[in-house]
Amino acid sequence: MKTKFFALALATGLFLNSCSSSDDTTPVTPPATGEIKGDITTNVTYPYGNYTLNGVVKIKAGATVTFEAGSTITIDKKTGDNALVVLKGAKLITKGTADKPVVFTEKSKLPGSWGGIIVYGDAPAKVAGGGTTGTSEDGNKISYGGTNPTDNSGSLVYTRVEYAGAKLADGDKENNGFTFYSVGSGTTLDHLVSYKGADDGYEFFGGTVSLTNAISYGNTDDSFDWQDGWQGQANTNWYAYQTGKGNYGMEIEASSNDNAFFPKVSNITLKRAAGNTPESSDNQVDAFQFKKEGNGEYSNIIIDGYGNFTTPGGVTYKGSAVSILDGVTNDHQVKTGKIKLLNVKISNTTNINPIGATDAIIVVFPTGNFVTSATATGASLTPGAWATVDGVDLTK
């Protein structure tokens, strides 16, 4: 048995150090330690412990990797490109709990220090031009887009990713805290935190997976973002807090394909801290931004803090609860009733009613499709260690 375990450790790059005393009446096993590196090709369970992740670690098809509750996985950007990649046909399972989350963090605590968690599934996508497959922009250059809407890439529960958003290899853009390529509805994403990354908190490229009880905190681009025909239907309790630097609360698009994907999200809170500034290349300040045929139904929403933004040069950009970026989206999605925002409570925001990105885009929602309210409650999340960083409760 020892020989088999040692062989498994070599195959996965894992070396555990633990000790116990036969003299103890109640043995206490200390946290395991070890390094995770290279490709993982067989099933591995990492017991509760403190690990380091070194390099771009890929979980290959047929393998399942499990992290037990309370484990911390630390990355050091000085080692180069780092990320945890779940390939199509593989599974990642994190067994965090409210008081013992699984945490992926980075040694320097600087946004953009590693590539985060990247998951590939086998669910459908619809990319620009109407195609069903695309090539990932994460530096891995992997084809995505499948045929199984209920595909299962694992279960991420009570898991936090900190300081992600690095560009890997020759990737077209930065990565996110969590990135999902064609991930299917058989996958569980629940009680996740994306904390202080250098791009989006969460980004979906196609797929059918849903996300529940999610926090995007202090990410420098958008809190929630999707394209390529993502169509999750059971999303609820999304909380975003944009502080320091950040663009849109939610960036919603469908890669310029007229569609009826109609994702659904209920119980949403989008907050922008005083003094928050957008990225210099964007200068747009919207809670909800729809473009390239994005649509969907959103309900029980709190929007706070999306006021106008004036650059140091004196140029003012409109802050809005809802912005429609292009005339095609206005014609095909707004006017046909495929965008609904219901029970919306708005404060400290310049433009309460939906606006167009330019004066030429006249936005008028059909009756009943944009409804404000004084009683919306937004996201409802239970505090705990899963949502606490350096003593700060991220749910407030």
Q: What is the 3-state secondary structure (H, E, C) of 180-214?
A: EECCCCCCEEEEEEEECCCCCCEEEECCCCCCEEE
193 vs 216: CA distance, rounded Å: 6
Average model confidence (pLDDT) across the chain = 92
Helices (H) and strands (E) counted in the chain, each on its own, are: 2, 30
Please give the share of the chain, as a percent, with pLDDT higher than 90.
84
pLDDT at position 11 over 60: no
254 vs 326: CA distance, rounded Å: 13
Q: Which two tokens stand for residue 91?
A: 């599974």
129 vs 137: CA distance, rounded Å: 17
Backbone angles phi, psi at 248, to 5 degrees: -90, 150
Q: Mind listing the pLDDT tens digit for each residue in 283-313?
A: 778 999 999 999 999 999 999 999 998 888 8
pLDDT at position 370 over 60: yes
Q: Mind listing the pLDDT tens digit for each residue in 384-393?
A: 999 999 999 9
| 13 or 135, greater pLDDT | 135
Q: Mind listing the pLDDT tens digit for each residue in 245-262?
A: 888 899 999 999 999 999
Least confident of 107-116, 215-224, 242-251: 242-251
215 vs 237: CA distance, rounded Å: 9
**DSSP secondary structure string for all residues of 133-155:** -EE-SSSS--EE--S-TT---EE
289 closest CA partner among 247, 317, 259? 247
Place of tokens 């853009």: 173
At residue 244 the predicted structure's pLDDT band, cuts being 50, 70 and 90, is confident
38 vs 383: CA distance, rounded Å: 35
The residues, ordered by sequence, that sit 6+ positions from 132 with a Cβ below 8 Å of its Cβ are: 124, 125, 126, 145
Q: Mind listing the pLDDT tens digit for each residue in 14-28?
A: 444 444 444 555 667
Predicted local confidence at residue 25, as pLDDT = 58
Q: Mind listing the pLDDT tens digit for each residue in 89-114?
A: 999 999 999 999 999 999 999 999 99
103 vs 390: CA distance, rounded Å: 13
pLDDT at position 188 over 80: yes
20 vs 50: CA distance, rounded Å: 17
The answer to whether residues 258 and 297 touch, using CB atoms and an 8 Å cutoff, is: no
The residues, ordered by sequence, that sit 6+ positions from 193 with a Cβ below 8 Å of its Cβ are: 101, 159, 160, 161, 214, 215, 217, 386, 387, 394
Whether this model's pTM surpasses 0.75: yes
The answer to whether residues 97 and 103 touch, using CB atoms and an 8 Å cutoff, is: no
Predicted local confidence at residue 1, as pLDDT = 40
Cβ neighbour number for residue 300 with a 10 Å cutoff:
22
21 vs 112: CA distance, rounded Å: 42
Q: Mind listing the pLDDT tens digit for each residue in 307-364?
A: 998 888 888 888 999 999 999 999 999 999 999 999 999 999 999 999 999 999 999 9
The answer to whether residues 205 and 146 touch, using CB atoms and an 8 Å cutoff, is: no
Backbone angles phi, psi at 328, to 5 degrees: -65, -45
Tell me how far apart the 2 most distant CA atoms of the chain are, in Å: 80
pLDDT at position 171 over 90: no
The answer to whether residues 286 and 322 touch, using CB atoms and an 8 Å cutoff, is: yes
At residue 5 the predicted structure's pLDDT band, cuts being 50, 70 and 90, is very low
